[in-house]
Structures are given as structure tokens and as C-alpha cells.
Chain A
Amino acid sequence: MLNASYVGRSLPTTAPVTITDESVTRFAQSLGLAAAHPDGTHASQAVLPPTYLISLTLPAADPLIEDPEFGLDFSRVLHREQRFAYHRELTAGAQVSCTVTVESIKTVAGNDLLSLHTAVEDGLGLAAEVWTTLFVAGDPA
């Protein structure tokens, strides 16, 4: 069981990281995506693949996994739902930080559904939001 007192709590915002062209290319290639560039420009920086931010937002939630008070056993976790909202087009070279908030914990038949919200901010403010719901299997009775 997860510690329900964490609902509404945010982790400290991660230190800004620069999204490298190399990481974007590798992510795109692993999905067979052609390189994309911002429309109408000849910018050399690739547009982030639509699901790229998961590679930043899941590690940003690591402190929750490492926190014994929270009680999240990652070997019991399955990914249940995922949502992205992009407020601006992000490209490689962007410097972003993530703030993870525990949005809700619902217990259904002894299992937990953990919903996390991650605000992804660049120098101009909120650039994208990422919601992840994890199914956490309960103890086999």
C-alpha cells in the first residue's frame, strides 16, 4: 500500500538539463521516426518526438521509488495511462526542469492506482505537462 498522505505533495524541481541532439536522435531512431525540424524553419535542432519527455519525467519520479516512507515497490508496477500536453514545440537544445506532483492515489481491490503530474518548464515557463498513472499490484494475500 502506498502512503496516501503524499497526495498533493511535489518533489523538489529537478536541476535544469539540456536536451541533447544525440538523445533526441537515439530516441527517434528507436521508434523508427524520421528526424523532424520545426515547421517553416531551417533550424538544425530536431523537434522532440511526441513521447520523448517520458525519458525525463520517469527518472524525475525516482525519489518516490527511493523513499521508503512512500512504499512504492517498482517490481509491482505496470504503466496504466499516459497523457502529454505540449504548450510549446520543444527542440533539442532546450533546457528543462521537471516538477513531479503526486496527484492521486486510488485503491481498487487491494491494488493502488498512482497518478503523477509532471510540469516541464523551460526558460519561458511551462512548456509541457505529462500525466502518468501507474498500477501498483497489492500484496498477494
Chain B
Amino acid sequence: MSLGDLASDATVFTAAFHVERTDLAAYAEASGDRNPIHLDEAAAKAAGLPDVIAHGMYTMGLVSRAVLEWLAASGTDARITAFSARFAKPVVVPASGGADVEVEAKVRKAGADAAELAITVTSGGERVLAPARVTLTAY
């Protein structure tokens, strides 16, 4: 598929991810962001949070994964050239049961050489990113 085939306002993909605390520990090691609010319940509560929360960058990383998997699955020959998000609400990750993150991407603008996606991300019924934007540029 080429970027020019995308229709404005169309939902292009949805994705869902399950997040456990072990995922946050692995991301903390890989990224070097070892802020204890993402790892330790006592530290999170001391900071005024309800429980351990996912790194905003972990959630944003899952969004990038959803985009890259969709590009690969649809055979769209493009790369991400801009990516932004505002972290509106935390993704709370309890020790038991973890959290689910749902991703839905719509087309904001599309042209032959570039397209922009608006991506809604929810967890526990709350919008956690408000919203994420991805610019794709054809190779």
C-alpha cells in the first residue's frame, strides 16, 4: 500500500497490549530510566500516585510498535519521521493483573509522500495519551 491510498478520518488499525510490572522492569533496564515510580509501589505512592505507573515512554514505545507492525503487515513502504504525545493520564500497573493498553490510529492527512496519523491510547477506560501524532514519510 502507498501512503496516498489512505483515506482521511479512516481508522487504519487498532492494537492491544498487556503490560505487567516485569515489562516495566525490562524497559527500565533497556532505557536507563530507573525512576522508582515505575518499579516500586511504595515509591509511587510516596510521589502521590495510586500505584506503580508505566513509563510514558514505554506507552509511547508500544504505540511505535503498533505503527511499525501495521506498516509491515500492510506492506506500506514508509518510515516514522515525527512522533509526539502528551501524557494525559498515567497507565496504572497493579502487581496483580497488570494493565491493558488499547491503541487506535486514524488518518489526519494523507498524501503520496507523507501522511499523519492521530492515535488514541486508552487504559482502564481513560485516555492516557492526548493524542499521539505520527508523521510517516515514504521511502
Contacts and interface: CB of A to CB of B under 8 A. Distances in A.
B30 A30 contact: yes
B50 to A, nearest CB: 13
Interface of B: 17, 23, 26-27, 29-33, 35, 47-48, 55-58, 60-62, 64-65, 67-69, 72, 77, 79-87, 90, 139
Interface of A: 23, 26-27, 29-34, 36, 39-40, 47, 49-51, 54-55, 58-59, 74-76, 78-86, 89, 131, 137
A83 B79 contact: no
B30 A84 contact: no
A83 B82 contact: yes
Given A30-B30, A40-B139, A79 B57 contact: yes
A39 B76 CA distance: 11
A51 B83 contact: yes
Nearest to A87: B81
Given A30-B26, A40-B139, A58-B33, A84 B57 contact: no
A47 B78 CA distance: 13
B26 A86 contact: no
Nearest to B130: A81
Contacts of B23: 30
18 contacts: A26-B30, A30-B26, A30-B61, A31-B27, A33-B65, A50-B61, A50-B64, A51-B60, A54-B57, A55-B30, A55-B31, A55-B33, A76-B47, A83-B82, A83-B84, A89-B79, A131-B84, A137-B48
Given A31-B64, A83-B82, A51 B30 contact: no
Nearest to A80: B87
Contacts of A36: 68
Contact of B83 (A40, A83, A89): A83
Contacts of B35: 74
Given A51-B60, A51-B64, A27 B79 contact: no
A86 B27 contact: no
